[in-house]
């Protein structure tokens, strides 16, 4: 479903991603672990072009999301690359509408009520009428137990409530995949569980998920595959049991010793 | 006659109060015209300056940055004189329009900086969340960022509006009859034989206008802060 090829990214000369590859299959749950600064969030943010990669390509459902990287198409002329993009390319807004994102800091729209947060995108993008969008929103709100908050503004909600609503907001677009960027890192400890429960429900429902997190328990329980990133590369990859049980690199061993 | 009696006489005598009202009208016309022009200019300039860098935006970005630098870097009085006796020294060109243009262009430079700051002060996460849902840059701006920016800039726009109104008191430099000029006029060679009384009266008028604007802005702010915790708690 999501295919990342030779992805590279630098910020002000500092290399964040070193030409890495990864594949996320439809329905698969992939958890990305690693020390801070290893490039986990950047990898996720490149998938929906919140960061524009310097090199490499991101493919979503067989469509090219980034610009074609000439290095991956040796021998193709400029006009051939252009034609390639026209044939296989997917508009960035269309791609984003099909893969939702959940942020560390929730980013609920502060000027709107919960319900307005949920219905804005589906209505603006012509996916649903206002009435349909509201119906979907209320159904999903009910599923996370927050129907009574529909007319509140985000400033009056707890972190856990905000994050559950942020997940519902992404779901209201009926995405084919969801990207989670440290969804519980900004939460008070007692609120982590309620958010993870919603994510586990989604996982059970078959959603394709890429999750950057430090929640090892979640990774163990939900992940089909774990990626361990270090210094801009994926250095370990496998089932949770494989990666946690017998890490191959010293760096990963050291990391798991500290966090597990 | 003491000060208070003279003040009463000023307000109750037609030949004193009528020039005052005429001046007040001019002050209001210039202020209103200039603040509207300033607001529109300010928004346009701010949007140009925060637009992502591109070939098409290169020249507008340079023009707007020169505009803001020059206008903010030179005295209003000089801008007014240059406008009236230089750029718009056209026979028959209405002075009122000249004044509105001079003050509006001046105000726009300050307003643009306020608005730019207001837009930048909205958490980048708000934009990212909008874009991540598939909304375009324009829709994200319109529905999410600008409404929050307006709330943030309202106090400073109010400040700018107040400063503008008082700044118009220099239009007599180009021979216009505004509230301040009316005060000078009534004070000079009249029976009042006092500058202090009409100047005080003019000050009261300015104060009243500014107070009304402050009140209006506060009201608007309160409405826009509906989503804000601050409105009801602290």
pLDDT in tens, A14-68: 999 999 999 999 999 999 999 988 999 999 999 999 999 999 999 999 999 999 9
The answer to whether B154 and B161 have CB atoms below 8 angstroms apart is no
Interface residues from chain B to A (CB-CB < 8 Å): 123, 125-126, 128-136, 139, 143-144, 147-148, 151, 226-229
Angle between helices B179-187 and B196-224 (to 10 degrees): 160
Q: Least CB-CB distance to A153: which of B129, B132, B227?
A: B227
Counting one residue from chain A and one from chain B, the pairs whose CB atoms sit within 8 A come to 77
pLDDT of residue B180: 87
A-chain CB neighbours of B145 within 8 Å are none
Average pLDDT, chain A: 93
Q: Inspect the interface and report whether the beta carbons of B135 and A125 lie closer than 8 Å.
A: yes
pLDDT of residue B193: 66
pLDDT of residue A258: 86
pTM listed for this prediction: 0.82
pLDDT > 50? residue B154? yes
pLDDT > 80? residue B232? no
pLDDT of residue B234: 45
pLDDT > 70? residue A122? yes
B-chain CB neighbours of A50 within 8 Å are 128, 131-132
Q: Inspect the interface and report whether the beta carbons of B133 and A109 lie closer than 8 Å.
A: no
pLDDT of residue A206: 92
**CB contact burial A153-192 (16+ within 10 A = b; e otherwise):** bbeebebbbbbbbbbbbbbbbebbbbbbbbbbeebeeebb
Domain count, chain B: 1
For B50-102, the pLDDT digits (tens) are 888 888 888 999 999 999 999 999 999 999 999 888 898 888 888 889 999 99
A-chain CB neighbours of B153 within 8 Å are none
Tokens 């950057």 map to which residue? A212
Domain extent for B75: 3-233
Q: How many CB atoms lie within 10 A of CB A248?
A: 14
Average pLDDT estimate for A133-138: 95
pLDDT > 90? residue B35? yes
For A194-208, the pLDDT digits (tens) are 999 999 999 999 999
Task: Give the Cα separation of A238 and A256 in Å (integer).
Answer: 15
Task: Give the Cα separation of B102 and B171 in Å (integer).
Answer: 10
B-chain CB neighbours of A156 within 8 Å are 229
pLDDT band at B227 (very low <50, low <70, confident <90, very high): low
pLDDT > 60? residue B230? no
Q: Please state the separation of Cα A104 from the chain's center in Å.
A: 11
Q: Inspect the interface and report whether the beta carbons of B228 and A96 lie closer than 8 Å.
A: no
Percent of chain B's residues with pLDDT above 90: 47
pLDDT band at B192 (very low <50, low <70, confident <90, very high): low
pLDDT of residue B150: 86
Task: Give the Cα separation of A185 and A105 in Å (integer).
Answer: 8
The ipTM (two decimal places) reads 0.92
From A102, which residue of chain B is nearest by alpha-carbon distance? Answer: B129
Tell me the H-state helices in B51-145: 55-73, 76-82, 95-121, 124-132, 137-140
B-chain CB neighbours of A111 within 8 Å are 144, 147-148, 151, 227
A-chain CB neighbours of B133 within 8 Å are 96-97, 100, 120-121, 169-170, 173
Q: Inspect the interface and report whether the beta carbons of B133 and A96 lie closer than 8 Å.
A: yes
Q: Please state the separation of Cα A72 from the chain's center in Å.
A: 25
Average pLDDT, chain B: 87
Q: Up-side HSE of residue B123: CA atoms within 13 Å toward CB?
A: 11
pLDDT of residue B231: 47
pLDDT > 80? residue B9? no
Nearest chain A CA: its distance from B225 CA (Å): 9
Which two structure tokens, joined as six digits, stand for B88? Answer: 């718009």
SS3 of residue A236 by DSSP: strand
Lowest-confidence region among A7-11, B7-11, B97-101, B218-222 = B7-11
Average pLDDT estimate for A230-239: 92
For A138-171, the pLDDT digits (tens) are 999 999 999 999 999 999 999 999 999 999 999 9
From A173, which residue of chain B is nearest by alpha-carbon distance? Answer: B133
We report the CATH number of the domain holding residue B125 as 1.10.3720.10
Nearest chain B CA: its distance from A128 CA (Å): 14
pLDDT > 80? residue B14? no
């Amino acid at each position: 479903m999501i295919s990342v090829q030779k992805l590279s990214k630098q910020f002000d000369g500092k290399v964040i991603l070193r030409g890495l590859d990864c594949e996320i299959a439809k329905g698969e749950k992939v958890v990305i672990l690693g020390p801070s600064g290893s490039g986990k969030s950047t990898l996720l943010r490149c998938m929906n072009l919140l960061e524009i990669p310097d090199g490499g390509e991101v493919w979503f459902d067989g469509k090219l999301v980034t610009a074609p990287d000439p290095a991956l198409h040796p021998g193709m002329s400029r006009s051939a690359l252009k034609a390639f993009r026209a044939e296989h390319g997917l508009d960035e807004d269309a791609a984003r509408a099909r893969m939702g994102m959940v942020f560390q800091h929730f980013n609920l729209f502060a000027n709107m009520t919960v319900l307005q947060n949920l219905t804005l995108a589906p209505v603006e993008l012509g996916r649903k009428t206002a009435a349909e969008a509201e119906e979907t929103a209320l159904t999903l709100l009910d599923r996370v137990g927050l129907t009574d908050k529909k007319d509140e503004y985000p400033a009056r909600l707890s972190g856990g409530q905000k994050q559950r609503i942020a997940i519902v907001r992404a779901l209201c677009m009926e995405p084919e995949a969801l990207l989670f960027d440290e969804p519980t890192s900004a939460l008070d400890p007692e609120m982590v569980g309620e958010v993870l429960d919603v994510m586990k429900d989604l996982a059970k429902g078959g959603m394709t998920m890429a999750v950057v997190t430090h929640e090892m328990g979640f990774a163990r329980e939900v992940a089909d595959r774990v990626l361990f990133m270090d210094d801009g590369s994926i250095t370990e990859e496998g089932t949770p049991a494989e990666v946690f049980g017998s890490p191959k690199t010293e760096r990963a061993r050291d990391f798991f010793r500290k966090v597990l | 006659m003491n000060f208070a009696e003279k003040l009463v006489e000023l307000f109750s005598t037609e030949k004193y109060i009528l020039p005052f009202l005429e001046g007040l009208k001019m002050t209001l016309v210039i202020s209103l015209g200039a603040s509207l022009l300033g607001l529109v200019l300010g928004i346009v300039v701010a949007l140009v300056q925060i637009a992502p860098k591109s070939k098409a935006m290169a020249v507008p970005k340079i023009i707007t940055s020169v505009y803001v630098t020059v206008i903010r870097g030179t005295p209003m009085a000089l801008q007014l004189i240059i406008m009236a006796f230089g750029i718009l020294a056209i026979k028959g060109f209405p002075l009122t329009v000249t004044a509105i243009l001079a003050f509006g262009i001046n105000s726009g430079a300050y307003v643009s900086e306020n608005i730019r700051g207001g837009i930048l002060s909205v958490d980048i996460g708000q934009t990212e969340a909008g874009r991540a849902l598939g909304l375009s840059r324009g829709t994200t701006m319109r529905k999410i960022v600008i409404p929050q920016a307006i709330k943030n800039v309202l106090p400073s726009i109010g400040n700018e509006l107040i400063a503008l109104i008082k700044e118009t008191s220099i239009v007599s430099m180009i021979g216009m009859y505004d509230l301040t000029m009316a005060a000078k006029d009534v004070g000079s060679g009249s029976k009042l034989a006092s500058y202090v009384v009409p100047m005080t009266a003019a000050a009261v008028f300015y104060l009243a206008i500014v107070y009304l604007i402050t009140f209006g802005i506060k009201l608007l702010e309160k409405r826009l802060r509906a989503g804000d915790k601050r409105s009801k708690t602290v």
